[in-house]
Structure 1
Amino acid sequence: MILPSYLETVRNELLTRIQGGDILINNSVAVPVQAMTIVSNPIAGILNGIALEVTAPHVAGVPAITNVKLRTKTGMVIAEKTGMIEMNGAQFLSITFAIEVKGGL
């Protein structure tokens, strides 16, 4: 069993790593992380998960998103999502990265 105190440590460490990081869109457009927060609501199908909400500035000229990577300030990828999202003039897009903490044994 993973103790709540350990999950809190993981959350804090994750937030520290993302500070100064960016979001890489389609492996070509990097936008800086403006704000981040841990979302406390449960994640369907994930036990001991951490939902992370990240805010970035508006990006123009990206007609479709095929992949998004959340990176640290040193470029290390923390989480990645793939798919096909056609923007069609969308003004706002919300992407949540769900990160599961797994214990040993």
Structure 2
Amino acid sequence: MILTSYLQTVRKDLLDRVSGGDILINGSVSVPVQAVEIASHPIAGVKDGIALQVSAQHVASVPVITSAKLRTRTGAVVAEKTGNIEMNGAQFVNLTFVIEARGGV
């Protein structure tokens, strides 16, 4: 069992590391993170999870997002999403990255 106090420490650490970071879209377009927050809703199927909701500026040159990597300000990848998100002139997209905290052995 992971203590609530430890999860709070991990959440704060993630927020600190991702603030000032970027989202690497399709492996080639880097977009600075504008806002990041911990989602308050529960995550289905994840017991000790942290859902980071991340916002970045709109990139007109990317009509379809097939991959997005959330990176820290030093370039370390925190989480990755793959899929097929068609932008179709959308002004913004909020991505949620789910990180599961696991206890060691």
5+ long unaligned stretches in structure 1: none
Alignment of 1:1-105 (within 5 A): 1-105=1-105
Structure 1 distance, partners of 2:88, 2:35, is 25
Amino acid at match of 2:31: V
Structure 1 distance, partners of 2:88, 2:37, is 28
Amino acid at match of 2:63: P
5+ long unaligned stretches in structure 2: none
Measured after TM superposition, the shift of residue 20 of structure 1 is 1.1
Contact 2:55 2:93 in 1 (8 A): no
Sequence identity percentage? 68
> What are the superposed Cα offsets for residues 40-91 of structure 1, whole Å, 9 maximum, x if unpaired?
2100010010011111111111111110000011110000001112222222
When normalised by structure 1's length, the TM-score is 0.94
SS of corresponding position for 1:9: helix
SS of corresponding position for 2:50: strand
